[in-house]
Amino acid sequence: MGFANVDRGPTNAYAEGGRVAIYPNAVVKIVGRFTDAAPMRNRVNFHTAVSDATSLFSYFNVYGNPCSHFYVAEDGTVEQYMDTAIRSEADYQGNDSTISIESWDGYGRVWTSGAVPGWNAAQLASLKRLTLWILRTHRSIPPKLAKDSIPAWSSFGLSWHRLGIDPWRVASGLHWSTAYGKTCPGDAKIAQVPQILQYVKTDHTLSEEPPDMVIIRRASDGASFIVIGGKGSRLINTADMNQYMAAGAQTVNLTDAGYAQAQSRYLS
């Protein structure tokens, strides 16, 4: 099944671009040029930074560079660069729906040859707590492993960058990078993701169930369409909409930009 998905929790405020989702254990260093609200929160993407840096702030804080939401340093310190309600720039076509976590890998000092190393114990412990906080804050991200980068349920949950990078990307999947052959975050880290999943699944309030129907509404003028099973349909009149709402469809109000993006994703 495929789904548009929206937060059902306290984060609808992000349609207004409010700063509502800052991880309490993060060292917060806001990269101020990112202000667009993300229309959807469907997955956490894990990355490896190919860096020995203690912080990525000075790199991210340069116009034109990408920027993730988080960085997990060698000692497990979590830095946050933007509210998780804001759209980051680390996952290309997945930016509208992805919360991105970069991580230290000791490149050039600890990692000098061979494949990308796994997360160390301090990083893994931090990633478990951070990921649980993200899933509690954005309940549209289910506690399950993603399988691909198709903009549907199969790509929701705990994910990693190369699911959207050729040659690992499946044919109908989105490109999460323009690079070819970038292994991010590498076999060793990917093999650790199930440990993070196991940890977050200890919270039994998190739901693995996909929402059946979502009404996507443009806040400025009320234009709406419905997404059922990942397919969008135009709503002919308000009676239709009321019927879907009575049947349990949730409504998400989006900015003009967010609505245009959702339209191109689900109505074309």
Please give the residue ranges that form the binding site for Zn ion (CB under 5 A).
47, 161, 184
Helix (H) and strand (E) counts for the chain? 6, 10
Which residue, 44 or 215, has its beta carbon nearer to Zn ion? 44
Q: Of the two residues 14 and 168, which places its CB atom closer to Zn ion in the complex?
A: 168
Angle at 46 between CA 162 and CA 265, to 5 degrees: 65
Least Cβ distance, residue 46 to Zn ion (angstroms): 8
Instruction: Identify the DSSP state of 77.
Output: P
Report yes or no: 189 and 104 within 8 Å, Cβ to Cβ.
Answer: no
Which residues make Cβ contacts (< 8 Å) with residue 62, sequence separation at least 6?
Answer: none
Residues 6+ apart with CB under 8 A from 254: 15, 37, 39, 216, 217, 218, 219, 262
CB of 68 to Zn ion, least distance (A): 8
Minimum distance between the CB of residue 225 and Zn ion, rounded to whole angstroms? 32
| Complex with Zn ion: residue 107 or 219, whichever CB lies closer | 107
Cβ 44 to Zn ion shortest distance, Å: 12
Please identify, using beta-carbon distances, which residue of 47 and 128 lies nearer to Zn ion: 47
